[in-house]
């Protein structure tokens, strides 16, 4: 199989690192060829804090995926999340020199590049600039201004900001693991691509990805991303609370949470008890499931309430911003029993658990379609899309070269023979290039 047809997602999480290899099958769905996962030791709340350990974990995950698929991994698409991500709304405009010509890609690029000149806090950098809607000469609510006439082009933007050093550290880890950085994506966006249907994005939906170290939120409405946030808590703090609350070691707390944990204390009878072996000759500990779920409940409520504040910040309570499709929960934390009911109870919004099978091939492994792998599947899809774009651009360039050789068109033909439409370079591609350049020069 040609290597340029496969794409590799690398999800560097707080609890686990996943390398996933996929390709497009003949129906345009993603087919997963191999998965490798390793325990993530050098990451805290989505941010790398130990380069050496992270490199080891990445290599382990990559080797596993290579062994399972029989393919060699060279380029990866990486996700960034972490507590340093924040987002803001910003509007900007440009005045066009010649309003006789219709608005084209370049005008939009100029507008987007202008947003990049926004002054950030020291050490911060813009990761994503996502246009919400445009205005042309004061006419509002324009989805796609290309091809329209107008002198003044303005837009509202959703701007996502993160710390340069954290992004570079991730680049560094990838590079030192002997891999090439093919692309960088915001993790909530990757998970959303894997889990949400286009209809949900149109109707309005909030994706909550509960990871080990962070909980990511992405809000969509009218098919466009409207709000993103990263809340610096996840499944790990629940485990911590169980550990402290029951005076047991972390491994036991994690197992308790997974096997017996519930987010809804009313479900457990008073007499349900789990016995946990004591450490080195000590008496076993007895823990009631009711207490366990009280501990979990308290922390989960806190996480969900913070996410709900962000959903309200987006403006969910306004009539035309209402999220009709409600909430979709994904990530490892979404596997907690009765979580769906609790989220519905706190937010009053319809909720479902999101499995990343929206774009997966029908015969995919059960394991792949687990909420645990939502981000990884999304990253694979992102990589596939990026390759598709490169192929189209390459074909367009070759076509152009061939055309130039044939004949120089006269002035009359010039109007008709418009060059093939060039895909707008997303800012992430530019960011990836910048991180690559920085790493190459830093060596």
- 137, two tokens: 């000469």
Helices vs. strands in the chain: H and E counts, helices first: 12, 18
Distance of alpha carbon 36 from alpha carbon 41, whole angstroms: 16
Closest among 327, 72, 313 to 192, alpha carbons compared: 327
Summarised one tens digit per residue, pLDDT across range 45-66 is 889 999 999 999 999 999 999 9
Q: What percent of the chain has pLDDT over 90?
A: 66
For the chain, list the domains and their CATH numbers. 197-357 (3.30.420.40)
- Decide: helix, strand or coil at residue 362: coil
The CA–CA distances, whole Å, from 6 to 23, 71, 182, 226 equal 5, 9, 12, 31
Does 408 have pLDDT greater than 80?
no
> At a CB cut-off of 8 Å and minimum separation 6, what does 215 contact?
208, 209, 230, 231, 233, 234, 303, 306, 307, 331, 333
Does 16 have pLDDT greater than 80?
yes
Average pLDDT of span 423-438: 73
Please, which pLDDT band fits residue 435 given cuts at 50, 70 and 90?
Answer: confident
Q: What is the DSSP letter of 268?
A: S
Summarised one tens digit per residue, pLDDT across range 170-182 is 999 999 999 999 9
Does 290 have pLDDT greater than 60?
yes
Counting Cβ atoms within 10 Å, is residue 398 exposed (0-12), middle (13-18) or buried (19+)? exposed
> At a CB cut-off of 8 Å and minimum separation 6, what does 339 contact?
263, 300, 329, 333, 353
- 354, two tokens: 């999101």
Distance of alpha carbon 371 from alpha carbon 364, whole angstroms: 14
Q: H-type helices in 186-288, by residue range?
A: 187-195, 198-203, 235-246, 250-260
Summarised one tens digit per residue, pLDDT across range 154-211 is 999 999 999 999 999 999 999 999 999 998 888 999 999 999 999 999 999 999 999 9
């997303």: which residue's tokens? 426
Average pLDDT of span 279-284: 87
Give me the pLDDT at residue 365, please. Answer: 84
What pTM did the predictor assign?
A: 0.87
- Tell me which of 414 and 4 has the higher pLDDT: 4
Does 411 have pLDDT greater than 60?
no
Give me the pLDDT at residue 414, please. Answer: 43
Distance of alpha carbon 109 from alpha carbon 121, whole angstroms: 24
Give me the pLDDT at residue 1, please. Answer: 52
Q: What percent of the chain has pLDDT over 70?
A: 94
Summarised one tens digit per residue, pLDDT across range 90-130 is 999 999 998 899 999 999 999 999 998 888 889 998 888 88
- For the CA atoms of the chain, what is the radius of gyration? 24
- 202, two tokens: 């149109």
Summarised one tens digit per residue, pLDDT across range 340-386 is 999 999 999 999 999 998 888 888 888 899 999 999 999 999 999 98
Q: Strands of 233-378 (E only): list them.
A: 273-276, 285-288, 327-330, 351-353
């Amino acid at each position: 199989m040609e290597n340029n047809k496969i794409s590799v997602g690398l999800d560097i999480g707080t609890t686990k690192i996943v390398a996933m290899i996929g390709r497009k099958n003949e129906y345009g769905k993603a087919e997963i060829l191999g998965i490798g996962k390793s325990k993530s030791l050098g990451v805290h709340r989505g941010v790398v804090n130990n380069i050496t350990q992270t490199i080891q974990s990445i290599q382990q995950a990559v080797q596993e995926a290579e062994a399972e698929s029989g393919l060699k991994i060279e380029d990866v698409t990486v996700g960034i999340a972490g507590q340093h991500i924040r987002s803001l709304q910003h509007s900007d405009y440009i005045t066009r020199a010649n309003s006789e010509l219709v608005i084209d890609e370049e005008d939009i690029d100029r507008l987007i590049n202008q947003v990049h000149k926004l002054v950030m806090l020291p050490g911060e950098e813009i990761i994503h600039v996502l246009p919400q809607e445009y205005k042309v000469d004061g006419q509002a609510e324009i989805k796609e201004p290309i091809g329209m006439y107008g002198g003044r082009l303005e837009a509202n933007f959703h701007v996502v900001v993160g710390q340069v050093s954290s992004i570079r550290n991730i680049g560094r880890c990838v590079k030192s693991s002997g891999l090439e950085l093919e692309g960088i994506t915001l993790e909530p966006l990757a998970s959303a691509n894997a889990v949400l249907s286009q209809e949900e994005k149109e109707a309005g939906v909030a994706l909550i990805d509960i990871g080990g170290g962070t909980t990511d939120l992405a809000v969509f409405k009218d098919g466009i991303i409207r709000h993103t946030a990263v809340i610096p808590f996840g499944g790990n703090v629940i485990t911590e609370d169980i550990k402290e609350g029951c005076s047991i070691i972390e491994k036991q707390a994690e197992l308790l949470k997974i096997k017996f944990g519930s987010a809804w204390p009313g479900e457990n009878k008073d007499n349900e008890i789990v016995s946990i072996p004591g450490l080195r000759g000590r008496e076993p500990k007895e823990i009631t499931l009711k207490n366990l779920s009280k501990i979990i409940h308290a922390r989960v409520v806190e996480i969900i309430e913070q996410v709900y504040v962000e959903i309200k910040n987006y403006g969910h309570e306004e009539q035309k911003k209402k999220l009709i499709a409600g909430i979709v929960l994904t990530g490892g934390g979404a596997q907690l029993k009765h979580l769906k009911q609790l989220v519905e109870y706190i937010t009053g919004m319809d909720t479902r658990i999101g499995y990343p099978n929206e774009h997966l091939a029908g015969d995919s492994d059960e394991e792949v379609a687990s909420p645990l792998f939502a981000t990884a599947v999304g990253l694979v899809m992102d990589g596939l899309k990026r390759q598709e774009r490169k192929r189209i651009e390459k074909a367009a360039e070759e076509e152009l070269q061939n055309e130039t050789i044939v004949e120089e068109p006269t002035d009359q033909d010039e109007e008709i023979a418009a060059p093939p439409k060039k895909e707008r370079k997303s800012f992430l591609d530019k960011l990836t290039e910048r991180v690559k350049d920085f790493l190459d020069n830093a060596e």
